[in-house]
Amino acid sequence: MSRLQGKVALITGAGRGIGRGIAEGFVREGTKVAVNDIDGQAAQATVVRLMEMGGEALAVPGDVADESAVQSIVRETLGRFGHIDILVNNAGIATYVPVAEMSSAEWDRTIAVHLRGAFLCTRHVLPHMLEAGRGKIINIASQRGQKGGAGLAHYAAAKAGIIGFTKSLALEVSRHGIHVNAIAPGPIRTGRPASERFHQTVAGLPIGRAGEIEDVVPTAIFLACDDSSFYVGQTLCPNGGDVML
């Protein structure tokens, strides 16, 4: 398949999990991928995998909450590929901490990686998309941004912010040929050890199973290709029925 043939995507947090899965899905569709992760070895491992698949890829490690790092990431991507057609803001972190026990540093870091990171990457990619008159921006939110979660106030607030950011940005840039949407996955197996809370959430899902990375990737491909041209500021929800809107 080649719905994204010749496109260039920058995907943050793509060293593992959903980000890596999206990178692999995009390569299968003909996309060249710049792989960002704060873990440079993980980013390079994804690049090796994408090249084994026959794709063209570049590792651009760095902290998306650091503006100078983001500028370097965008500059390196443009230097290698010449343009950026798709931006996937996926980088994130998650911890379980009740608000009464949460440090301000933990709150700030979570908001910075998710929300500041999405803003900074968008801010520095957007001028190039505006100049080209086209682009796709896909922000990875979470069902927790829609329903909240005990011990996840910082994470849920960041993901709710991502959804609001998506809507506001879409209002600004849609008439310039840039489509902005979000994905809010439910509980997804990402290869990391699953917590008891994860198993509890899965037990309550109408579908009766956890999601897999492959359950999210088709949504990202859809939002990145021309088939989604009438989707503006939307949040698509592959969540197994955890949240029904």
Over 80: is that where the pLDDT of 193 sits? Answer: no
Structural domain boundaries enclosing 140: 8-236
In a domain, 144, yes or no: yes
Using a 10 angstrom Cβ sphere, with 0-12 exposed, 13-18 middle and 19 or more buried, the burial of residue 216 is buried
In a domain, 58, yes or no: yes
In a domain, 176, yes or no: yes
Of the chain, the percentage scoring pLDDT greater than 70 comes to 100
Pick the more confident residue, 2 or 168: 168
- CB proximity list for 167: less than 8 A, separation 6 or greater: 233
H or E element in which residue 189 lies: strand 188-189
> Hey, which residues are catalytic here?
155
User: Measured between alpha carbons, how far is 217 from 21 in angstroms, rounded to an integer?
Assistant: 6
pLDDT digit string (tens) for 62-95?
999 999 999 999 999 999 999 999 999 999 999 9
Unique residue bearing structure tokens 């491909």: 221
Q: What's the number of domains the chain is made of? A: 1
Tell me the CATH number at 156: 3.40.50.720
In a domain, 69, yes or no: yes
**pLDDT classification of 220: cutoffs 50, 70, 90:** very high
In a domain, 211, yes or no: yes
pLDDT at 1: 62
Over 90: is that where the pLDDT of 37 sits? Answer: yes
Q: Angle at the Cα of 223 (from 218 to 227), degrees rounded to 5?
A: 95
Is pTM beyond 0.85? Reply is: yes
In a domain, 64, yes or no: yes
pLDDT digit string (tens) for 85-135?
999 999 999 999 999 999 999 999 999 999 999 999 999 999 999 999 999
In a domain, 2, yes or no: no
In a domain, 89, yes or no: yes
Q: Cβ–Cβ contacts within 10 Å for residue 32, how many? A: 23
Using a 10 angstrom Cβ sphere, with 0-12 exposed, 13-18 middle and 19 or more buried, the burial of residue 23 is buried
